[in-house]
Chains A and B, each alone.
Chain A
Amino acid sequence: MLSKLKLSILIGSFLILAALPMITEAIDEPFYIDLMARVMIFSIAAMSLDFILGYGAMISFGHALYLGLGTYAVGIMAHYEVTNGWLQLLVCISGTAFIAFILGLISLRTSGIYFIMITFALAQMFYFLGISLEAYGGDDGLPIDTRSEFFSFFDLNDAWNMYYLILGTMTVTAIVLWKIINSRFGMVVRGSHSNDARMQAIGFPTMKYRLAAFVIAGVVCGLAGFLLGNLTEFLTPEYMHWFRSGELMIMVMVGGMGTLFGPLFGAFAYLMVEDFLANFTEYWQFYFGPMLIILVLFAKQGLWGMLPGKEDMSDE
């Protein structure tokens, strides 16, 4: 089980997030709603990456691809004036699942450095594809004129509705992934993380379970992209760029790899630090690069991992 401290932090964070729109209205700083909505979207993406990276030891260096695919799903359909949210969602889920399945089939045949390089290259392929698609704005991207339409009483143009949709998705995603990690399926994924040969010897054809996990992570990240497209009202290949994949990995590491809830805070910490440094200097990466190296070398367990309370890798 989660330690009391961690459980309180999770519930506390949720309550603060739930109350945030009211607070920002009271202090008249609506900007923070948008900022936190963004943070939460990246939290979802980072969690999905941690699901395969931290629990399944699949070091995917192209995970932002699915973030981009999600925005393309919304954007392209909106471009053709299909604004029905349910339909968009269906296309988003089946599209990301299909692409994750094909890419997983190719990349999971390999391991180690090969896997990293292949996921990296295949994601870049889609980035370059996005750039070459002039019909959808090429590298300039394309504005999304209309946000997804779900219910007549739930208009996503309303900032609060958008915000609560994102908060809701994040919460549900965290709970669902948590259940999966501790289910029979999750045990197989985690087992093949620590010793794949052993898993096969006791009778698991691990490849299909790893592939399924890879697809689940892709779809969840695609959902984050779906929300991102709606929030930013913009479609751009830039979200598929390897740099974004690197950022997602940083969020996972900063939060704590293999702790499902760590990346929620990792995304928050990373985006805040980026924001802070960028305000302070034009060359923020000049400072952030060495900081990252030092973090990797000395603070590997991440924020969530630093919290007291010994726990095993399943975070229970």
Chain B
Amino acid sequence: MSEPLLKVVQLRKSFGGVVATDSLDFDVMPGEIHAVIGPNGAGKTTFVAQIAGMLKSDSGTITFDGRDMAGKTAPERSHMGLARSFQITSVFRDFTALENVSLSIQAHAGHSFKFWKRASTDRDLTDPAQKILDDVGLGDKALTLAGNLAHGQQRQLEIAMALATSPKMLLLDEPTAGMGTEESETMRAFLNEMKGKYSMLLIEHDMDTVFSVADRVTVLVYGRGIATGTPEEIRNNAEVRAAYLGEDE
């Protein structure tokens, strides 16, 4: 047995009186896609924010790649190989697709106190950025302003920006959010392609996507993990069906 890449133990976070993450244990093995599902308000996005270092946890530990994440800022975690995408598309709308990805490359290419050379024609940034855009199928949109891309393309760009940080693990917060059937299918194919190359924590609403790409699934309800197992096990878990899939026992 190898060690898990990400290990979360007894994680907790509350806002005022509302408990968003409640004594949560969780792990992701190298190369694994571990999906987290749960009804709205189950605390999925809070969970991602805690792992990514954007929210401070009340208690519990997060270990990534053998290192304790306590006190590490979001940029520091990014440099350790944790990359996240956002549920609400947050590409830089005023930059071209190429510039968006170039920024990610730049973030991991030493410091940015470089004041003179033009960044948008810097081949050290644009060449690798173009390659990643090609990989995600946006190669021909490189010079389009991100704000002018179609919604599905913006979601792909979102992931391209995460990939450009050469991560060990991806935290994907609802990559298919707001997508039509066709776009979802493209994304699903893409995720399957990534499978094995990257470890992933996948937050997802779309059950077809979850059950077709995930190795394991954890069900989150009110901040608690009520079940973890293979997609097959989760599908047949009575408690999950009652709590989440909305079926009567």
- On whether A and B touch (CB less than 8 Å), the answer reads yes
- Choice from A184, A190, A316 contacting B106 with Cβ under 8 Å: A184
Chain B hits for A199, CB < 8 A: 103, 107
Q: Is A205 an interface residue (CB 8 A)?
A: yes
Chain A hits for B91, CB < 8 A: 198
Please encode chain A, from 183 to 199, with 1 for each CB lying within 8 Å of some chain B CB and 0 for all others: 11111101100110111
Kindly state the separation between the CA atoms of A183 and B117 in the bound complex, as whole angstroms: 5
Q: Is the CB of A204 within 8 A of B112?
A: yes
Chain A hits for B161, CB < 8 A: 202
How many A-B pairs fall under 8 Å by CB?
102
Q: Is the CB of A182 within 8 A of B119?
A: yes
Chain B hits for A204, CB < 8 A: 75, 107, 112
Q: Is B182 an interface residue (CB 8 A)?
A: no
Kindly state the separation between the CA atoms of A195 and B174 in the bound complex, as whole angstroms: 19
Q: Is B54 an interface residue (CB 8 A)?
A: yes
Kindly state the separation between the CA atoms of A286 and B153 in the bound complex, as whole angstroms: 51
Q: Is the CB of A198 within 8 A of B115?
A: no
B168 to chain A minimum Cβ distance, whole angstroms, is: 13
Chain A hits for B95, CB < 8 A: 190-191, 312
Given contacts A200-B73, A200-B75, A202-B165, contact A195 B92 (CB under 8 A): yes
Q: Is the CB of A195 within 8 A of B107?
A: no
Interface centre among A182, A184, A195, A312 (most CB of B within 10 A): A184
Chain B hits for A312, CB < 8 A: 94-95, 145
Q: Is B34 an interface residue (CB 8 A)?
A: no
Q: Is B113 an interface residue (CB 8 A)?
A: yes
Q: Is the CB of A179 within 8 A of B116?
A: yes
Please encode chain B, from 111 to 125, with 1 for each CB lying within 8 Å of some chain A CB and 0 for all others: 011111111101001
Kindly state the separation between the CA atoms of A212 and B91 in the bound complex, as whole angstroms: 24
Kindly state the separation between the CA atoms of A160 and B54 in the bound complex, as whole angstroms: 56
Q: Is the CB of B114 within 8 A of A203?
A: no
Q: Is B184 an interface residue (CB 8 A)?
A: no
Q: Is A313 an interface residue (CB 8 A)?
A: yes
Q: Is the CB of A200 within 8 A of B74?
A: yes
Kindly state the separation between the CA atoms of A182 and B117 in the bound complex, as whole angstroms: 8
Chain B hits for A190, CB < 8 A: 94-95
Q: Is the CB of A194 within 8 A of B93?
A: yes
**CB nearest neighbor in B for A216:** B115
Q: Is A209 an interface residue (CB 8 A)?
A: yes
Q: What would be 10 A-B contacts, judged by CB atoms less than 8 Å apart?
A: A179-B115, A182-B118, A185-B115, A194-B93, A194-B94, A198-B91, A202-B107, A205-B75, A209-B113, A314-B94
The interface of chain A, by Cβ under 8 A from chain B, is 179-180, 182-188, 190-191, 194-195, 197-206, 209, 212, 312-314, 316
**Which are the 3 A-B pairs with shortest beta-carbon distances?**
A203-B78, A203-B107, A200-B74
